Structure formats: C-alpha cells, structure tokens
C-alpha cells in the first residue's frame, strides 16, 4: 500500500512538466574575427537570444501528466481493494482458526474425561486393556490436534500482524463469527458492478491514453524552439563602424522527428488497449466465479450446521447412554466421538471458507458496500 501511495505521489510530480515556462534559457553568442594581414580589419560581435516554444509542448505535457496521474490513481484504488481484501481475509482466517482451537481443546477435554472413566472401569474389572489402550490413543491424538491447531493459529496471527503492520507481540483476539450472507444480486448485476467498479481496466485504459499523449508530445518536441535575439557588431580599426539588428533562428524538423520514440509510444498504447480489454473480461469472469463459489460454500455450511453436526452430536449422546446401559462397546463410542469432532471441525472450516468466498466476491466487485 505504501508503494502504491508513493507511486501516486510520483505520478503527480509530472504536473511540473506542464508548468514549464514558454521561454527558455537565454542563448549568448560572442564572436571575434582577427584581421590578417591588416589588424584593424578585425571585427567583434555579440548576440543574445531567447528561445520561444512555438510547438505547444507545454500543453502536450499537461495532457500527458493528467493521464499519468489518472493511471496512478486507478492503480492506487486497485491496490487498496487488494490490500483491504487481504487484511480481511487474514482477520477471518485468524478468527476461525481460534474457533478451531476451541473445538480441539473441547474435544481433548472430553477425550481425557472418557479416558479417566475407562481407567476407572478397568480398575473395577468392567473394561478391558484394549479399551484402555484405545482411549489412551484417542486422548493422545486429541492433544496432538490441539497443538497443531495452535500452531496454525499462530501462523494466522502472524499474517494478520503483517497485513496490518502491527507489532510482533501485538495481542490478537477475535470473537466467534456468524455466517455470511449472499448479496441480493444476480450474476448479470455482479458482472455490471465488477466492470464499473474494478479499477484495473481503467488503469490500463489510462495507460493507453498516456502513451498516445506521449506520441503527440514527442511530435511537438520535434519542432525546435524559435530563437529571437538581438546582435551587435563592431570593427576594430580607429574609425570604428558598428551595426546592430535582430535575428530569428530555428531548426527545421525535416529529417529527425522523434520517429523511433513515437513508434514505441504507439506500440505501447496498442499493448495497453489489449490489456484493458483482457482485464475487463477477467474481472467479469472473477465476478461470476466468486459469486458461484459463495453460493456453494453457503450451501455446504448450511448442510453441516443444520444437519450433519447436530445429528452427530445426538448420535454421540445416544451412544454414551447405550454404553452406560451396556448395549455398546467402547469402540462404538470412540467412533461416534471422532465423528462428532470431525464434523465440528469441518463446520468451522466451512464457515471459514464461506467468509473467504464472501470477501473474494467483494474484492471481485470492487468494494465492500454490497448488500
């Protein structure tokens, strides 16, 4: 973001070219002609001229500078959109990774309670050594899952600090998040918003106009300034004779007219036109893809949140009741508990993906103010 802002300020410095004076630096010329063999035949002269811009290069620079600034402003807006989305993605990732840690910790606590219960039954000769071994394996695995979730959370917090340029030890806490919503728009409206609000095509279009302005400016710069000056000449003999007058001096642009530089500028303009067209089609495709991805992500979360996860919780509760009644063995309980934990974690992951898809759609549409 700082680089984009500095680029914009550099582009604004081009305004100085449009403020150049029409009158150039004075041109001073001194001439001494030695008389041979008659010394008094020597003559001396001096002239002073002012170059005047008659080509209109100042106006050409003003036009080119305006497009340089427009291009930089569009690039800055595009960078803002990308940086804002990246920061929000880092925050969402941190918030949902924190939730995964809480799920893993809760699972580990339940596994520990279950292990203690199995060990107590084993001491009372109501469970086998296999039951104890399976419970110990399950608890150790849950502890490893907590450590892994905490490592991933630490990495996510590091990315968030990097995105927001925070201190290395800045504490970061995030509250649980509600699921995102699908904006009230259809694909046609999404494409329209992307093409009108995304700044990448505008940046390429401004770049094309900048190079066309460069071509015009180079054409004008091929016309040399008109030098208007005054001249005084005197002879070196005793009876000094002197003359004075005015002169005009310029260069006729018949051979060198910046042909090479102008050809390159025209080629660059054509290239920027192609990039602008490709970018416009690209942002439209991104709008469609991100919209469809968000729809699918919300359907997945709804299925897990309203169906699979509650069903797994009920299955675990019934399995525990059946265990206490002696109707099932420990292996069945472990399977039910593992399934419940897996679905809890998958639900949180689905929520994380849904939020990332929502942010991706907002980035693709060029802003946050979509309903």
User: Quick one: pLDDT at residue 211?
Assistant: 93
The number of domains in the chain is 1
- Name the least confident of 33-42, 140-149, 167-176, 292-301: 33-42
Distance between CA atoms of residues 145 and 147, nearest Å = 5
User: Quick one: pLDDT at residue 368?
Assistant: 64
Please give the mean pLDDT across all residues of the chain: 87
Q: Could you tell me which of 331, 325, 314, 318 has the C-alpha nearest to residue 118?
A: 331
Q: Does residue 154 have a pLDDT over 60?
A: yes
User: Quick one: pLDDT at residue 305?
Assistant: 92
Distance between CA atoms of residues 353 and 160, nearest Å = 17
* Mean of pLDDT values over 79-107: 90
pLDDT band at 22 (very low <50, low <70, confident <90, very high): confident
Tell me the helices (H) and strands (E) count for the chain, helix number first: 8, 4
Q: Domain range holding 358?
A: 55-222+257-364
User: Quick one: pLDDT at residue 273?
Assistant: 94
Q: Does residue 63 have a pLDDT over 80?
A: yes
Question: Domain for residue 237, yes or no?
Answer: no
Given CA atoms 186, 187, 192, 194 in this order, what sign does their dihedral have? positive
Question: Domain for residue 313, yes or no?
Answer: yes
Q: Does residue 37 have a pLDDT over 80?
A: no
Question: Domain for residue 248, yes or no?
Answer: no
Q: Does residue 16 have a pLDDT over 80?
A: no
Residues of the chain with pLDDT > 90, as a percent, come to 34
305 to each of 96, 225, 334, how far by Cα in Å?
15, 76, 22
pLDDT in tens, 309-348: 999 989 888 888 887 777 777 778 888 888 989 899 999 9
Bigger pLDDT: 288 or 331?
A: 288
pLDDT band at 56 (very low <50, low <70, confident <90, very high): confident
pLDDT band at 266 (very low <50, low <70, confident <90, very high): very high
Q: Does residue 221 have a pLDDT over 80?
A: yes
pLDDT band at 238 (very low <50, low <70, confident <90, very high): low
Question: Domain for residue 12, yes or no?
Answer: no
Could you tell me if 85 and 363 are in contact, meaning their C-beta atoms sit under 8 angstroms apart? yes
* Mean of pLDDT values over 257-265: 88
CATH of the domain at 328: 1.20.1600.10
Structure-block tokens of residue 214: 């460069």
User: Quick one: pLDDT at residue 360?
Assistant: 92
Question: Domain for residue 111, yes or no?
Answer: yes
User: Quick one: pLDDT at residue 285?
Assistant: 94
* Mean of pLDDT values over 77-81: 88
What end-to-end distance do the CA atoms of the chain give, in Å? 27
* Mean of pLDDT values over 191-196: 90
CB count in 10 Å sphere of residue 65 = 22
Distance between CA atoms of residues 182 and 354, nearest Å = 10
Question: Domain for residue 9, yes or no?
Answer: no
Angle at 231 between CA 227 and CA 233, to 5 degrees: 155
* Mean of pLDDT values over 13-32: 82
pLDDT band at 279 (very low <50, low <70, confident <90, very high): very high
Q: Pinpoint the alpha helices (H) of 124-199.
A: 129-164, 187-197
Bigger pLDDT: 151 or 176?
A: 151
User: Quick one: pLDDT at residue 369?
Assistant: 62
Distance between CA atoms of residues 332 and 320, nearest Å = 9
pLDDT in tens, 121-138: 888 888 888 888 988 998
Question: Domain for residue 32, yes or no?
Answer: no
Question: Domain for residue 21, yes or no?
Answer: no
Strand partners of residue 52: 23, 226
């Amino acid at each position: 973001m700082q680089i984009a802002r500095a680029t914009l300020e550099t582009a604004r410095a081009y305004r100085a070219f449009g403020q150049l004076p029409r009158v150039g630096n004075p041109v001073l010329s001194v001439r001494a002609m030695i008389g041979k063999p008659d010394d008094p035949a020597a003559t001396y002269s001096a002239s002073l001229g002012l170059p005047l811009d008659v080509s209109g290069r100042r106006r050409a620079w003003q036009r080119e500078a305006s497009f340089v600034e427009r291009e930089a402003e569009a690039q800055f807006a595009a960078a803002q959109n990308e940086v804002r989305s990246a920061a929000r993605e880092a925050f969402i990732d941190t918030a949902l990774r924190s939730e995964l840690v809480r799920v893993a910790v809760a699972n580990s606590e339940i596994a520990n309670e279950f292990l203690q219960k199995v060990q107590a039954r084993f001491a009372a000769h109501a469970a086998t050594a296999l039951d104890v071994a399976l419970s110990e394996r399950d608890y150790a695995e849950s502890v490893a899952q907590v450590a892994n979730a905490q490592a991933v959370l630490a990495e996510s917090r590091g990315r968030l600090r990097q995105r927001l340029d925070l201190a290395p030890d800045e504490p970061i806490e995030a509250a649980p998040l509600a699921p995102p919503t699908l904006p009230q728009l259809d694909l046609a409206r999404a494409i329209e918003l992307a093409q009108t609000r995304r700044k990448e095509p505008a940046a390429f279009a401004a770049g094309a106009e900048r190079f066309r302005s460069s071509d015009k400016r180079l054409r004008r710069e091929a016309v040399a300034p008109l030098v208007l000056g005054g001249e005084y000449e005197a002879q070196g003999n005793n009876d000094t004779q002197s003359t004075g007058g005015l002169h005009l001096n310029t260069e006729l642009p018949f051979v060198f007219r910046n042909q090479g530089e102008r050809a390159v500028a025209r080629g660059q303009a054509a290239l920027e036109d192609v990039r602008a067209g490709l970018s416009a089609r690209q942002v439209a495709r991104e709008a469609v893809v991100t919209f469809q991805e968000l729809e699918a992500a919300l359907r997945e979360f709804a299925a897990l949140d309203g169906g699979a996860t509650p069903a797994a919780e009920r299955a675990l509760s019934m399995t525990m009741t059946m265990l206490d009644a002696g109707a099932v063995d420990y292996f069945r309980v472990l399977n039910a508990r593992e399934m419940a934990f897996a679905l809890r974690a998958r639900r949180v992951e689905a929520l994380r993906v849904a939020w990332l898809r929502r942010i991706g759609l907002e980035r693709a549409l060029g802003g946050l103010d979509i309903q």
